[in-house]
Structure 1
């Protein structure tokens, strides 16, 4: 009989904002946003007090202030977040060495066989949450199930400070009743497409054949086919090294005007900067991805000797890549990726201009 896996997904609650409230008691129980408060500022994280007003990460600071006039903006302190993250990751390793960090504030854990020899994954998740609270003063939410897909969804069910388990006997019913836009890996554009096809819940997706889903969604078709049946064989990989960080945006209507595209590049850049910070990723190569209205795809890249970082630098490089040559026709999707990872513990080669 095949052994049933026990996977936990731990996700810190409003991590950046919670750290700020922890370190600055005067900010507790107040709506705060980590990020810049200027006209071009973007919310990197929002406290739960701010979320009640509709303030969300990735939102422009201007809109955030309109929704919550009393919002307090706090500059991010990434070194502090990394320090707390290290404490949290060390706690995970008290229970298992099969820890796969997804970012600075979340990770998968495989506790099928664990260091405490505890038979219950739910009990382990409770102990981890307790240890995080004791060591850091922060709360975390945990999801427990038989694979990564389900554990990731479960951790979001009872946030903040939540705990939710999907045992094997409940997997089928849970997925069948799950709204399609709650599926991990189904973005807004894909969800909208599925809605037009009459797919609103897991049970609707499950009715589609593998052939039909592959025809509709290409290489992602097989993934949607499997997860609608609760199948996710991905292992928790503690040695996974992220090779790139990227983001992309599909337009509601195709664009050809360069000025309009550059406006969108600004939003895409801001989203990328947030992802780079959350993933603690630094690289030397930037790639601009363009998908044309005829679905033809093109990428333009540039590699530098130094780290590519900061909104201003990434924006300038992205615009240079866009201006590199004329567009063939209107575009339906734009994407930005940073790759060619740099390990800051390794010495970098310096160049001297003659």
Structure 2
């Protein structure tokens, strides 16, 4: 496998990408840098844009988009001179870089995707791949002295626990998928994008909350009409957007806040479960929806968590466990760069990380 030479003494440069259910981001970063440059953003060619296609057709689209965009970026001045590539992927992944599922990318079951092998073959550079939340956790690892749990609330919900220098996940890719914990066992529970019903991600993610608020608006037209949502949605439930919902919650609109509280209860249950099971007392929240709602998201989630109660903790201690991450969308990109620094000697010409 060929690599691109780097001047003696100069920091290595990397191209990093984050493939999410809504957006694909690609940028460049120098080893040791704290910011990503020349970031390109584009809509992911997956489930969010092409809901009429089969899961396998969507997977093929997503992979081809990722490869072509990376090839293009590496061939242009922004990516020239990159010695390696790091890619974070929104789905559970084995240690050797095989994606097992992509609920927010292609929905239901499709063939296991050996993304590390594909990218190494097509890009002619060392490639490291990782689950997106695994990558994001590495951004915070050096700043968090104690074990922590990173939770993303965006198109879906995912989490990773970072402890003693590593992400707690099996080599076969199991773990870190709290979004697919079934919190509603009823037969008519909301369907998750993976195809199953009652999953946390189908209820408390940005897409899940949007579905809930549209249903609430249809069921309670008077409440909807009196809310801050009605004007921006032109009076129709289907006109409500996540952006409008986040704005309404930020100004404490009663209708929007009531719906969000109901969706956050199962997320509070998930935090409670992780705390009770393994004792982690630091929970960082990232993701487009959580960040759009902002500090109010933490306040409302804290309300639900204190109502549940965390065994052995008082209200102040319980609320102190929750915090927002850095308010940008570079978590995975920066985390991938730090993973590259740590894994390149062993990863050159091979696969990836979970």
TM-score (normalised: structure 2): 0.25
Is the radius of gyration larger for structure 1 or structure 2?
1
Compare relative contact order (CA 8 Å, sep 6+) and give the higher one, 1 or 2: 2
TM-score by length of 1: 0.25
Higher-strand-fraction structure: 1
